[in-house]
Amino acid sequence: MNNSVRSAARLSWAALRMLLVLTVVTGILYPLAVTGIGQLAFHDKANGSMVKADGKEVGSKLIGQSWNIKGSDKPDPKWFQGRPSNSGYDPLSTGSSQLGASNPTLVKNVKAAKKQVAEFNDVPQSAVPKDAVTGSASAIDPGISPAYAEIQVKRVAKANRVSFEQVKKLVDDHTDGRTAGFLGEPQVNVLEVNLALKDLAAKR
């Protein structure tokens, strides 16, 4: 009986030591090492890829945001607009509407959005691309297709009193190609192009 108790005690003590060692290694040392490497090698990305303007953080180039008229739910004609967001661009509440492609509500909403985008940018509805009227799976996509940026150039140039060619060049300069040359689709980061637009408008 005493031998059994001693054996059980030894096994329990060995298991406890193993638990303590693994807790320290996986719960403390490993996270610290990964965090340290991230801060040293990928400082910008590890801290949310924040973007600054005039010395202040104005957003993250990884998260979309609203470009509405201040204090309103109406889009501001001065800025390039991003994809629709089912969550109001809230990074703590991501996700799509969960409506299927043939859902009557989604079809109705897309048709209404297409008409609105066409009128807002003074283009025919046939020129409105899909990402202008449908949200991404995350609802916080920071980029838009070059096609969506293209139909906004005329409106943005007029609202900021700069030339069409200047705004078109901004779009071209801020269009990122496919990752590794073949993954994904070309994108225009809305925050970055709008900040460049702000600088351009300030020089007029």
Structure tokens at 106: 């989604």
Mean pLDDT of 159-184: 89
pTM of the model: 0.75
Mean pLDDT of the chain: 86
Is 41 or 191 the better-scoring residue by pLDDT? 191
Question: pLDDT by residue (tens digit) across 90-127?
Answer: 877 766 666 777 788 888 989 999 999 999 999 999 99
Question: pLDDT by residue (tens digit) across 64-79?
Answer: 999 999 989 899 999 9
